[in-house]
Amino acid sequence: MKAVVFAGPRAVEVGEVPDAVLEEPSDVVLRVTSSAICGTDLHMYDGRTGAEPGLVLGHEPLGVVQQAGSAVELVRPGDRVVIPTHLYCGVCVNCARGLSAACLRVRPGGFGAAYGYAGMGPYRGAQAELLRVPYADANCIPVPGEPGDDLEDDLLMLADAFVTGWHATELARVFPGCTAAVFGAGTIGLLSAYSCLLKGADVVYVVDYIPERLEMAARLGAVPVDFRAGDPVEQIRALRRSQGLPPGEEPMNGVDIVIDAVGFQARDRAAPDQENPAQVIGDLARLVNPTGHAGIAGVYAEKDLHPAPQGTADGHLTVPWATFFSKGVSVGFGRTHDRRYTVLLRDMILSGRARPAPIVTHHGGLDDAPSLYQAFDRRADGVIKAVLHP
């Protein structure tokens, strides 16, 4: 089968690899109709994670079941399904609690797993014609319709971007009427902002410095904040004050909710061509109101082969804990618990309540992967979300 393969830092190749096949009776083989490229893929593409050349990339597939193992009960060949990024067994104690990113059975010697990601288990990626899906009864989320229909892009966002955006709002305890700020206007930040608004947030600020991404934030109903125009914390405080705060509440001119949708490859605002892995956490601590909540969905890698000046190879960072403590802020971290959100968000899409597809900016075939990876990595050509059609 044809697949997108990591070939070394800033290089992917499209080539033939052995077909995905059934390995266990509980597997299915998926024929992939759409497979998105994610900011997470770029951590590997940039040569930061120790991914081995030859790794098939990708973890965001939508497709049709091609073949089902003898123990699979809930889906049949021909069924259209979306596959969550973080695979899980569905029945261990953490899965039973809906905390599937910490599945205890899916990665020998660890917890949680993902397709096509260095250090997250032996599972090949989804930017390929075929994908082996283990524990298929748990990991195949049925969706109606036909490949290529009007909902293809919306349903594809269930594989990762929309659920992770939503997850960030759960980590950050978003509530109706809250004020929120999301750092990062990639797909995760944009769909975090969108999820805040779906949950009834009063106002959502989105911080970035890439014009097309800030425009997309505005299109989704958020207030864009360009950090090239000055300290985003001060910009947001000024906007809050200009809107008028109730008498006695003037000190609450930050926001209730802060979300990190950037992660360890955060840009240094003073020198955006350099990274500063503590930049966003520091901004969150300064901006959040007393008793507020922080959600950190951006990845902080345990292994960084080329750390930025303030970073470390093992991900240890100096961050302002004392500020969070003094303000009494709750902080939530981590990977998405797909099992908790995928069906809920699918039904919001099917009912017409949610439409995440506008963030998809580019489509191509597998052969377009090298050029789309390059443009996405440079945040060039307006690429926000690129989708491959194997």
**Residue selected from 3, 38, 114, 301 as contacting Zn ion according to rule CB under 5 A:** 38
Q: 257: which 2 tokens?
A: 């909710």
Position among 155, 262, 359, 387 found at the interface with ligand NAD (CB under 6 A): 262
**Cβ pair 361, 385 in contact under 8 A:** yes
Question: In a 3-state reduction of DSSP, which class is residue 280?
Answer: helix
DSSP state of 221: T
* Closest CB to Zn ion among residues 262, 288: 262
Q: Angle 321-314-106 (CA atoms, 0-180°, nearest 5)?
A: 100
207 binds ligand NAD (CB under 6 A): yes
Subset of residues 61 to 120 that bind Zn ion, contact rule: CB under 5 A: 88-89, 92, 95, 103, 105
Pick 28 or 38: Cβ nearer ligand NAD? 38
Q: Which of 291, 298, 230 shows the shortest CA–CA distance to 264?
A: 298
Binding mask 71-110 for ligand NAD (x = CB under 6 A): ----------------------------------------
Among ligand NAD, Zn ion, none, what does residue 123 contact (CB within 5–8 Å per kind)? Answer: none
The option from ligand NAD, Zn ion, none interacting with 95 (CB < 5 to 8 A, set by class) reads: Zn ion
Rounded to an integer, what distance in angstroms lies between the CA atom of residue 385 and that of residue 356?
Answer: 11
Q: Which residue, 43 or 80, is less far from ligand NAD as judged by CB?
A: 43
The span of 44-52, 255-263, 310-318, 363-371 binding ligand NAD (CB under 6 A) equals: 255-263
Q: For 389, how many CA atoms within 13 A lie in the half-sphere containing its CB?
A: 7
Choose between 17 and 319: whose C-beta lies nearer to ligand NAD.
319
Answer yes or no whether residue 137 interacts with Zn ion by CB under 5 A.
Answer: no
Q: Which is nearer to ligand NAD, 26 or 100 (CB)?
A: 100
Phi, psi of 95 (to 5 degrees): -60, -40
Please list, residue by residue across 62-94, b when 16 or more beta carbons sit within 10 angstroms of its beta carbon and e when fewer do: bbbbbbbbeebeebeeebbbbbbbbbbbbebeb
Alpha-carbon distance of 157 to 84, in angstroms, equals 10
Residues of this chain that bind ligand NAD (CB under 6 A): 38-40, 42-43, 160, 164, 183-189, 207-210, 213, 227, 261-263, 266-267, 269, 279-280, 297-299, 335-336, 379
